Amino acid sequence: MANILRFIGFLAILISVLLGFQYYILHRLSAIFQFTCPAKVSSLVFILIPLNFIAISIVSRTSWNIAVQIWYDVSAIVIGSILIFFTALLCYHGIQKIVPIPLTISQAVVSIGLVSLLGYSLFTAQHLTVKTVEIPTAKVKRKITIVQISDLHLGIVHGKKFLDHVVARVKALHPELVLITGDLFDGIGDVNADTLQALNTLAVPTFFIVGNHDMFVGLENALAVLSQTRVTVLRNEKTVWHDTLQHDTLQLVGLDYFGMRPQNDQINKILQTLALDNRYFTILLEHVPFDFQNTDHSQIDLQLAGHTHAGQIFPWSFFVKYFYPSIRGLMWLHDHYLYVSSGTGTWGPPMRLGTWSEITVIRVSP
């Protein structure tokens, strides 16, 4: 019952925000382009847009075909466009308050600007950026190359073709191991063993931890599909990796998804039972970039996470920052490193603005 009420509350907030954004967009566009829209028409459109997205989100969980995919893609792009257009028009309105701009120039600027932002956001979401991070430590004798991918959200928007492209880029980086920090699945759309076939072409050890969307698709289903690949799933457990020359050893700890803000005592109990060896460079994989406040984190050297998408579409990164100490990039957290991937794929709208889709190269160096 609590989950149902929470979901209803989320829908109420989502619809209210979208209605407000749509009203502002229509108000600004009508002022700039000098047109009027009947209140009945605008009200109907305002209500139908969020209800349509909710409807396709429900339908896509039970049905899967090309028509549903097109319906979802178009609906998601409309939602993303509302977010982008609202921000752009709000900023432009602020500029107009400072510098009066003739109407004809405003019409040209807004037309070109909105179309450009829409095209750029769609392009950026599909363009993979390689980020390189150097981590120094006295616990290894030579440089070890690791690749992290995260938040691919395979399903209705991203599928086999996208994963094939990601894996091809990963292999070109010549990693010694690959780490997938959750949300491999989206929870919407169909993912099967054929979709994940590219993962079997990775010639190096590959490890995966569970994210929240992997649970949405049905954790048993997700694990069943992964069992048909060479990927090793780490669920509140540790493993060790030895390099081919047996010179260096890495200790990997993989945690399940414990919610947006996992409790420190949960993490403490798991770390205590794992009996970690401090001689080895230890990497903690946890989908959410949680803070280790009041937690025994002395045994962790590097924490890898994802989940945030870095906000995905500016300026929503400011809201995401409220929940986490870092939403992307490398930071020193207490006495260990935390790296947060901005995500390899996207969630919802296949769009990015002010963020990037990334593959991360992590070089652990002496």
**pLDDT per residue as tens digits for the range 202-217:** 999 999 999 989 988 8
Are 178 and 303 members of one domain? yes
C-alpha to C-alpha distances, 117 to 95, 111, 121, nearest whole angstrom: 17, 10, 6
CA within 13 Å, CB half, 226: 23
C-alpha–C-alpha distance, residues 344 and 149, integer Å = 6
Are 32 and 55 members of one domain? yes
Are 281 and 293 members of one domain? yes
Are 121 and 261 members of one domain? no
CA within 13 Å, CB half, 39: 0
Are 148 and 34 members of one domain? no
Secondary structure letter of residue 131 according to DSSP: E
Are 141 and 108 members of one domain? no
Sequence-ordered strand ranges (E) for the chain: 128-136, 144-149, 177-180, 206-208, 232-233, 237-242, 249-254, 281-285, 302-305, 329-333, 336-340, 357-365
Are 322 and 183 members of one domain? yes
Q: Pairing mode, if any, of strands 357-365 and 144-149?
A: antiparallel
Total number of domains constituting the chain:
2
What is the pLDDT of the chain when averaged over all its residues? Answer: 88
Residue 183, pLDDT above cutoff 80? yes
Residue 350, pLDDT above cutoff 70? yes
- Model pTM score: 0.89
Are 172 and 94 members of one domain? no
In this prediction, residues 24-32 reach a mean pLDDT of 92
5: pLDDT confidence band, cut at 50, 70 and 90?
low
Query: Would you state the pLDDT for residue 7?
Result: 60
293: pLDDT confidence band, cut at 50, 70 and 90?
low
Query: Would you state the pLDDT for residue 272?
Result: 81
Task: Write down which residue in 74, 103, 125 finishes a domain.
Answer: 125
Query: Would you state the pLDDT for residue 303?
Result: 92
Which range is most confident: 161-170, 218-227, 330-339? 161-170
Residues in the chain, how many? 366
Secondary structure letter of residue 281 according to DSSP: E
Are 168 and 313 members of one domain? yes
Query: Would you state the pLDDT for residue 285?
Result: 95
Task: Write down which residue in 98, 125, 152 finishes a domain.
Answer: 125
C-alpha to C-alpha distances, 138 to 34, 217, 327, nearest whole angstrom: 66, 41, 28
Are 121 and 181 members of one domain? no
Is residue 118 within 8 A of residue 88, CB to CB? The reply is no
| CATH number, residue 285 | 3.60.21.10
Q: What are the tens digits of pLDDT across the range 211-237?
A: 989 988 888 888 999 999 999 999 999
Is residue 260 within 8 A of residue 289, CB to CB? The reply is no
C-alpha–C-alpha distance, residues 190 and 221, integer Å = 11
Task: Write down which residue in 96, 125, 154 finishes a domain.
Answer: 125
Are 339 and 217 members of one domain? yes
Query: Would you state the pLDDT for residue 56?
Result: 86
Spacing of C-alpha 8 from chain mean position: 23
Are 100 and 181 members of one domain? no
Find the domain containing 207 and state its range: 129-365
